[in-house]
Chain A
Amino acid sequence: MGHAAIIAGQGFNGVSLASILLLTALGLALSFGLMNVINMAHGEMLMVGGYLSFLATKMVHGPLAFPFALLLSFAGAALLGALLEVTVIRWLYGRPLDTLLATWGVSLILQQAARSLFGAIGVEVVAPHWLEGSVSIEHGLLAGLSMPYVRIFIILLTVAVLGLLMVFIARTRWGLYLRAVHQDREMAQALGVNTRWVDLVVFSMGTGVAGLAGAALALIAPVTPTVGQSYVVYAFLVVIVGGLGSLFGTTLAALLVGLFSAGVQMFTSISLADVWLLVLVILFIQFRPKGIIYQRSRAMKEA
């Protein structure tokens, strides 16, 4: 296997990691951009999606098992997100610190629940038959490069989700409401937009997509009670680097972080470094006057 093939292989891994990061980051970016809410339990949505996908493939067999797993992990995480929004987050709007602490509590509860239900050791989701195998290149510069179908599938899934989300935001009535609330919440309300519904729909859509990320992740790594933690750190990083307001920025940032991580082989499970990175990231969002994002929305208002 030549150097070029090794680099291309890491690049490919980086892109598939970026896909999962992007699916995770989209929800964070949406809820922070729209509601100024930092959901510390967002990583657990990924974890929940992973376990739901595991359960789905235990319950259903045959060719429909995996599509069902995707559906269940999206719907389950979206429902859980809706529940979280209605019972906790909605009551803490405008109190970022309380929101942080409360959702952090929720994340611990969810992790503990997963530990009690499934044990601390990870569970594996067996990929469906049609995702077994890989594309291998045998000749030329990239000889020896092998790209597993599961990872190709994860990338395609992400592209599809991104496309659907873009259509949703740009073309639908709810997408219009979302953009309006983002630019001027009060005015949207005064025009008859039920902003509570918009918040709820957007928030649970974001957690649903994170659930989907969990189902995707389950194809390539075991699902553990803390699996969300290790990914959400990077997802936060993606949100900060990418800023909000544009899916493009988030996508670009996800690619950057994904390729970077693959490059330095950071693809390990949680370590203290991850925890510290998370702390740093949170401090950054909290105290660096709302970061890149806030200035953007200000600029929008003044434009």
Chain B
Amino acid sequence: MLELEGICAAYGKSRVLENVHLSIAPAESVTLLGRNGVGKTTLLRTIVGLHPVSQGTVRFAGEEVTHSAAYQRARKGIGYVPQGRGIFPHLTVEENLRLGSASARKGEHNGGDAIPAHIFELFPLLRRVPNRKGGVLSGGEQQQLAIARAMVAQPKLLILDEPTEGIQPSIVQQIEEILREIRTRLKVAILLVEQYLDFAWSIADRFYVMRRGRIVENGSPRDSDPASIHHLLSV
């Protein structure tokens, strides 16, 4: 479904990604691990189309999208929950959600203006506060809104950048359950960047570990000992 081949990217002259290969099968759940500043967010942004690649190809759903604009990739079925959540602070919860269907409109799902009912089943909280401004929600609420918004377009792949960052443990558990639901019931492929190993481990079918812009390890949580991964993450 998603294939990255030899991705390189840079900020000006400083290279941040070096020859990254990564793939995700339909309905597969993959986690990308790595310490602060190794290039995880940058990699996600190259997939989404917000950061240009200097070398390599990005393929999604059988098509090359290396040079497609972000909105085109969104319409092909890439949902994105960025680090920091990317909630529009001056738009209401409902308007934030409606923006999610910006990509559903021209896609194969006839989303239109209506927000699918299953969104509110997953996120009952959002039904209660449709007119509240995004900027006044708590961190946890914003995170749920960001995930809900990405799901409105019914993506084939959901990309999440550190969804548990700065969120209290009880909400982390809720988010974990929601992601499990998205994965098993809605059969959406997931690419998750996470520092919180237990969380990542419980959801992922496979993992990649990044270090200084390169993938240095990959495998399946079933065959790997979290302790050895801890070792890779902490040096």
Check if A236 is an interface residue, CB within 8 A of chain B.
no
Tally inter-chain residue pairs, CB-CB below 8 A.
78
Check if A190 is an interface residue, CB within 8 A of chain B.
yes
Q: Which of B99, B106, B113 contacts A188 (CB 8 A)?
A: B99
- Give residues 33-62 of B contacting A (CB, 8 Å): 48-50
C-alpha spacing A195/B69, complex, angstroms = 10
C-alpha spacing A194/B73, complex, angstroms = 11
Q: B88 near A184 (CB under 8 angstroms)?
A: yes
Check if B80 is an interface residue, CB within 8 A of chain A.
yes
Q: A173-B113, A180-B99 are in contact. Are A191 and B149 (CB under 8 A)?
A: yes
Complex: chain B residue closest to A179, CB-CB: B91
Complex: chain B residue closest to A197, CB-CB: B71
Range class of the A interface residue count = 20 to 34
Main secondary structure of the interface of A (DSSP, over half): helix
Check if B26 is an interface residue, CB within 8 A of chain A.
no
Contacts of A302 in B (CB 8 A): 89
Q: B70 near A303 (CB under 8 angstroms)?
A: no
Check if B200 is an interface residue, CB within 8 A of chain A.
no
Contacts of B80 in A (CB 8 A): 190-191
Q: B90 near A191 (CB under 8 angstroms)?
A: no
Q: Number of contacting residues on B, CB 8 A?
A: 29
Rounded to whole Å, the gap between the CB of A67 and the closest CB of chain B is 33
Contacts of B89 in A (CB 8 A): 183, 300-303
Q: B113 near A189 (CB under 8 angstroms)?
A: no
Q: A191 near B99 (CB under 8 angstroms)?
A: yes
Q: Which residue, A190, A196, A303, has most C-beta atoms of chain B within 10 A?
A: A190
- Give residues 167-197 of A contacting B (CB, 8 Å): 173, 176-177, 179-180, 183-184, 186-196
Q: A179 near B70 (CB under 8 angstroms)?
A: no
Q: Which of B69, B102, B135 contacts A191 (CB 8 A)?
A: B102
Q: Besides the contacts A187-B88, A190-B48, A194-B71, what 17 more A-B pairs have beta carbons closer than 8 Å?
A: A176-B91, A176-B98, A176-B99, A179-B90, A180-B88, A184-B88, A189-B49, A190-B86, A191-B80, A191-B99, A191-B100, A191-B149, A192-B106, A195-B71, A300-B90, A303-B89, A303-B90
Q: What are 21 residue pairs bridging A and B, where the CB atoms are less than 8 Å apart in the complex?
A: A179-B95, A180-B91, A183-B90, A183-B91, A186-B70, A186-B86, A189-B49, A189-B69, A189-B71, A190-B48, A190-B74, A190-B80, A190-B86, A192-B74, A192-B104, A193-B71, A193-B99, A194-B69, A300-B89, A300-B135, A303-B135
Q: A residues touching B (Cβ–Cβ < 8 Å)?
A: 173, 176-177, 179-180, 183-184, 186-196, 300-303
- Ranked nearest first, the 8 interchain pairs of A and B with the lowest CB-CB distance are A192-B103, A192-B74, A187-B86, A303-B135, A192-B102, A189-B70, A303-B89, A190-B80
